[in-house]
Amino acid sequence: MAHELDGPKRTLSFGDFSALVAAPFGRGEARAARIRIVARPKEQQELHLAAEPAYFVMLYLDAVDHCDLLATGEALPGRRYRRGSICVIDLSQGARIRLSSSLNALGFVIPFRTYEEARSAAMHPTPRLLRQRRNEGDAIVYRLGLSILPCFDTDPPDATPSLPYVIGALCAHLLDAPGSMLH
């Protein structure tokens, strides 16, 4: 399928995958993509996320082993990310990971503008920053992700009318999640 990359490319970016776009609150456009990268023996592949004013949410549909790469290229210790777990990061500086196994995931790029629209719609009186999460189980995000998987069964992917509502629900859920903040 066009969404599964197993060719010779060693470094992949979010833009290599067909994305669906939705503006759940009016103006800020969030993107969702099915990310499948097939591991190749003796060659670790990297996923690069370009710097942009946005949050990135990765929902792991299968367990995967990967490590984060610092801007210097130094690799942090690898870890196993469980099926159904999520990572939430700030993309202001971009991000890179090195895969040690195949990746089957959904990725969401949520611009800060979209997140602020969600915060305003929820009538939060003060700005709340999204918290960083790594390898945390989240049944709500998992179910929201599963609900849009059929959109990626066609080539190119086809958004259902419910996509803006699903991304809006994702933003609202992340907004209400307790814990330490990214900034």
Q: Is 135 left (phi over 0), alpha (psi -120 to 50) or beta?
A: left
138's tokens: 């989240």
**What CATH number does the domain containing 95 carry?**
2.60.120.10
For residue 159, is it within any domain? yes
For residue 168, is it within any domain? yes
For residue 183, is it within any domain? no
Question: Phi and psi for 132 in degrees, rounded to 5?
Answer: -75, 140
75's tokens: 């690799």
> Strand runs (DSSP E) across 54-101, as ranges?
54-60, 64-69, 79-81, 85-90, 95-99
For residue 108, is it within any domain? yes
pLDDT at 59 over 70: yes
Q: pLDDT band at 121, cuts 50/70/90?
A: confident
Average pLDDT, the chain: 83
For residue 142, is it within any domain? yes
Number of domains in the chain: 1
Residues with Cβ within 8 Å of 161's Cβ and at least 6 positions away in sequence, in order, are: none
pLDDT, residue 125, reads 55
Burial class (CB in 10 A: 0-12, 13-18, 19+), 86: buried
Contact, 85 vs 134, CB < 8 A?
no
For residue 117, is it within any domain? yes
Amino acid at 44: Q
For residue 60, is it within any domain? yes
For residue 70, is it within any domain? yes
Question: 161-175 pLDDT, tens per residue?
Answer: 888 899 989 988 887
Count of Cβ atoms closer than 10 Å to residue 174 Cβ: 23
Rounded distance, CA 122 to CA 103, Å? 34
Question: 146-161 pLDDT, tens per residue?
Answer: 999 998 988 778 777 8
Q: How far is CA 157 from CA 18, 20, 34, 150, 182, in A?
A: 7, 7, 9, 9, 31
**CA nearest to 152, candidates 115, 87, 107:** 107
pLDDT, residue 42, reads 77
Rounded distance, CA 56 to CA 122, Å? 21
Q: What domain range includes position 46?
A: 4-176
Question: 80-119 pLDDT, tens per residue?
Answer: 999 999 999 999 999 999 999 999 999 999 998 888 888 7
